Structures are given as C-alpha cells and as structure tokens.
C-alpha cells in the first residue's frame, strides 16, 4: 500500500469516515491547524529538559490526535465516531491542563504586558506552539456556525492549552524546563 493514493489529485480529501470534501473545507483547515500545533508541541518537547514537562507535552500531543479525529468527522458521522474505539478528548484531559496551569501560576512567574519571543530556543518553541494553538482555536470556533456541532470541551481544552503554552514560555525565559 502506497502513501500516494492519488485520491486527492483533484483537490479533495477524505474525512475520517470516508466523506470527500474540498481540501480547503473548514474542517480540513481546522484539522490542519491542529496538525501544525502538534508539530510545534513536539518541537517544544524535544527542547524541554525537565521530564515532567516532556511528559506533559507528550500527553498533550496524544490529546491533539484525539481532538483531530473528532473534528475530522462529518456531522452525520459524529455519533458513529463517539461509539467507535477512537480516542476522544475527555474532561480529565482538561483537568490535566488546569492542574498544569495552577502549578505554573503558583510559581509566581513575572510578566508585564506583551512578551517578546526569542529569549531562548525553548521559550520560542513554546511561543510558536501558543500561536499555533490560537490559530487552531480560531479554525475550530468557526465550525459550529457552518453546521458542524462540537462538544464544548474541544474549545475549552484548546483555549486552556494556549494559556498553558504562554505560561510555559514565561517559565522557559527564566531558566531550563
């Protein structure tokens, strides 16, 4: 089996359960934005030296894959996806982000106004992931207005993730993570 299926040669691609849509379809744009975010989180994970941070980021990457699967379904396949064995984002995934946010906030990180990215490679990697998260969040937020219902958890998780990445960047500016 080849990776080059040629089924997209005419400018379409498949949603998770087989429906064909244009490659610039809003759901494909959203999935693509989350795919880019996953790459950026992976880059930050590669640079992080703290084991707990690396494990947190790996868990986030796993959650991103689950989220992408849910977003990649047509509206009429959403129920089928919820009954499938595919991983789905859970309230516990949101809890992981909330606990990580609380842990970072308890450290009393100092920040005033806008950050200036680029203090070091790790802080820059977190900033790149943060802006990718905000872009993915915007792509996700448009879908309900276009007829694709979403569980509120998906937007909540994505919003918290960008906040967490912002705090991780601030922490990385102060020293190794």
**DSSP letter at 114?**
S
Q: Which residue has the higher pLDDT, 173 or 6?
A: 173
Residue 12 lies in a domain: no
Residue 153 lies in a domain: yes
Residue 152 lies in a domain: yes
**Mean pLDDT over each residue of the chain, to the nearest integer:** 88
Lowest-pLDDT choice from 64-68, 89-93, 111-115? 111-115
Lowest-pLDDT choice from 32-41, 76-85, 136-145? 76-85
Residue 3 lies in a domain: no
The number of angstroms, rounded, from the C-alpha of 22 to the middle of its chain's C-alpha atoms is: 22
Residue 8 lies in a domain: no
**Alpha carbon of 49 to those of 44, 115, 174, 177: distances in Å?**
10, 22, 14, 5
Domain hosting 168: range is 22-103+116-174
- Helix ranges (H only) for 72-177 are 78-83, 91-105, 121-142, 152-174
Residue 161 lies in a domain: yes
pLDDT at 177 over 60: no
Reported pTM: 0.87
Residue 162 lies in a domain: yes
d(CA 167, CA 105) in angstroms, rounded, equals 8
> How far is it between the farthest Cα atoms of the chain?
54
CATH number of the domain residue 87 falls in: 1.20.1200.10
**DSSP letter at 21?**
E
Number of domain units in the chain: 1
Tell me the two tokens of residue 125.
């990697």
């Amino acid at each position: 089996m080849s990776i080059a299926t040629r089924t997209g040669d005419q400018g379409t691609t498949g949603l998770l359960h087989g429906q064909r849509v244009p490659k610039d379809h809003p759901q494909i744009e959203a999935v693509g934005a989350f795919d880019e975010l996953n790459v950026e989180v992976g880059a930050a994970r590669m640079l992080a030296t703290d084991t707990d941070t690396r494990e947190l980021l790996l868990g986030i990457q796993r959650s991103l894959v689950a989220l992408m699967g849910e977003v990649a379904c047509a509206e009429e396949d959403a129920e089928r996806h919820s009954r499938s064995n595919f991983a789905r984002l859970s309230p516990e995934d949101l809890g992981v982000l909330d606990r990580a946010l609380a842990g970072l906030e308890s450290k009393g990180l100092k920040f005033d106004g806008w950050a200036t990215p680029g203090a070091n490679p790790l802080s820059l990697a977190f900033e790149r992931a943060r802006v990718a998260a905000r872009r993915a969040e915007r792509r996700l937020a448009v879908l309900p207005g276009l007829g694709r219902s979403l569980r509120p958890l998906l937007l909540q998780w994505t919003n918290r993730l960008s906040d967490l990445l912002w705090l991780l960047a601030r922490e990385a500016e102060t020293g190794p993570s």
